[in-house]
Amino acid sequence: MGKTALVTGASSGLGAEYARQLAIRGFDLILVARDRDQLEHRAADLRSRFGVAVEVLAADLLKPRQREKVERRIAADERPVDILVNNAGFGLPLDFARNDIEDEVRHLELHVEVPMRLTHAALGPMLRRGRGRIINVASVAAFMPRSTYGACKRWLVEFSRWANAQYGPRGVTVTAVCPGFTHTSFHERMGLAPGQEGISDFLWLEASTVVADSLRDAARGKGVSIPSLKYQVLTRLVRVLPASVSARLGQRGR
């Protein structure tokens, strides 16, 4: 029986790239996102190109009944999930005081509560089988003051580090992936054209590189994966800077 991976936010961006690279590795897939038409289109492409089975699970993870449907699929013993990729997310402007508080609450739920719930659903079955990988897509923003986005991602990093230490010896690894600025549709959906971020071309990464590096690190059992040497150096530097300086750096980009 082949192995199965479930990817949230799989219709575009890093989620779509995770699905592609896992399909190349021979994993059957369960694709989760809100837009069923986009998922069906992506599923058909993956089936035809890589000959893997692809299940579509359209769900808005901020709606409890729809999220619970995903939790049940993760916990199922039939065609069990071997790799869970918690990738779904969205961005907000960095001005917390001006943001709508309900948008901020939804942002917190999707970046913290949802991956926590899905990780919990996966852990029980994975621990019983003695194997499994959970990948939580965080951000280098976790290492610098960056409004509520950085705070959410910091939670995800610390939770993943702890869970990896706790459950890794029992065969289940948990890896927080911390990409820097990555070429995806994420920025376009926020209304920003290429070049509007104010970020040097040197700092931009390709989605294919981010995903390949993170899958390699997860396979090695790392609790935290920071794709690319330049961001590994940058995150070490930011940690020793005064908070006022790193906060100003964190205001760059969106």
> Which amino acids are annotated catalytic?
149
Residue 254 CA to its chain's centroid (Å): 17
Residue at token pair 């003695």: 130
Q: How far apart are CA 55 and CA 43, in angstroms?
A: 7
CA distances from 175 to 17, 77, 97, 226 (A): 17, 23, 32, 10
Could you tell me if 120 and 84 are in contact, meaning their C-beta atoms sit under 8 angstroms apart? no
Tokens of residue 16, six digits: 């779509």
Half-sphere exposure of 179 (CA within 13 A, CB side): 24
Please provide the DSSP assignment of 14-63 as one string. Answer: HHHHHHHHHHHTT-EEEEEES-HHHHHHHHHHHHHHH---EEEEE--TTS
Instruction: Classify residue 79 as exposed, middle or buried by CB count within 10 Å of its CB (0-12, 13-18, 19+).
Output: middle
